[in-house]
Amino acid sequence: MQVLHHFEDVPAALREGVVAIGNFDGVHRGHQAVIGRAAEVARGLERPLVIVTFEPHPRSFFRPDDAPFRLTPFRIKAYQLSVLGADALVVLRFDVAFSKKTADEFVEHVLVDGLGARHVVVGYDFVFGHDRGGDTESLAEAAAAGAFELTTVAPVASSDAVVYSSTAIRDHLAAGKPGHAAALLGRPFEIEGRVLHGDRRGRELGFPTMNVGLGEYLLPALGVYAVRVAVEEGEAADWHDGVANLGRRPTVDGTRLLLEPHVFDFDQDVYGRRVRVALIEYIRAERRFDGLDALKRQIGEDCAAAKRILKTRAAGAT
């Protein structure tokens, strides 16, 4: 998948393609339905599949003081989109100038002049342009005028009538329900980051951990999780079972918010390397213990609980 950071001078091979547009935070089942429909159209027309997204997320631009909320920071979003078979990802920089572009200007400058879109595919709730002045009706008007063909994908819901949405996924994660979030995502929620040096407290207790910062990620419920962990190895992902604490370690007077996975039967030096930590199930809330011996006993119980949980889950996180 080619990644382009502009809509001007798009290579000829990617013009006149089928264009799917959206923020796609989470790349959840609803987003997958939009992109899947675009892929079907692209195959039928024998044209390239081009995904258009925005960085930073418009919410980050308009509300910079909000707490981190991303389900998929750009690196992970791009990876998940590539898995869906796109030929190109066009990343539009959402800045002051872009935020002032009207809906008509977006259609003319980006879709028609820039990408030469032959067919556009969006979700039912897609809005765009200055002051959210454009929507699916605006695109339908452009399509009726001959600018391109248009497909609007209706809401997609689970078997129990829950519409797949990034907001619902965030709510589940905040409530300590990663299994519910996974059902909407179509895969376990992951936090990806570089392993940082810590105080080696876990090693002293007999449970060495990797220290991973949260960065731009949404903060799930604090506590202990059954997890699967993959150390970055090129395109391959070798998943290992483990348990992780997400929090500030109140028993040892910690202050920094960290995700600290302990991987079972694993003894490799991974400092400085990137890892993917998939949250499989919530075990308990974080709390302060009466000394390190009590903490150590509880970690042992957490490990046993995580092993029982992970035995019931299919191997592999994605």
Question: Residue 157 phi/psi, 5° resolution?
Answer: -125, 160
Residue 170 DSSP class: H
User: Residues of the chain with pLDDT > 70: what percent?
Assistant: 93
CATH of the domain at 244: 2.40.30.30
| Domain membership flag for residue 166 | no
159 belongs to a structural domain: no
pLDDT band, very low/low/confident/very high, at 18 (cuts 50, 70, 90): very high
Please provide the size of the chain in residues. Answer: 318
3-class state of residue 303 by DSSP: helix
Look at residue 81 in the predicted model and tell me its pLDDT. Answer: 95
Is residue 285 classed exposed, middle or buried when 0-12, 13-18 and 19+ CB atoms within 10 A define those classes?
A: exposed
Please state the domain count of the chain. 2
State the pLDDT at residue 235.
66
For β-strands 236-247 and 258-263, DSSP reports them as: antiparallel
Q: Are residues 135 and 223 in the same domain?
A: no
Q: Which amino acid is at 159?
A: S
Q: Do 227 and 289 fall within a single domain?
A: yes
Q: 79: domain CATH number?
A: 3.40.50.620
Mean pLDDT of 140-148: 96
Query: Residue 133 falls within a domain, yes or no?
Result: yes
Kindly state whether residue 170 falls inside one of the protein's structural domains.
no
At residue 71, φ and ψ (nearest 5 deg) are -85, -30
The confidence score (pLDDT) of residue 288 equals 82
- Residue of 178 and 254 predicted with greater confidence: 178
Q: Is a pLDDT exceeding 60 seen at residue 185?
A: yes
Dist CA 253 CA 33 (whole Å): 46
Asked whether residue 94 falls in the same domain as residue 201, the answer is no
Q: Which range marks the domain in which residue 37 is found?
A: 2-153
Among the candidates 137, 153, 169, a domain finishes at: 153
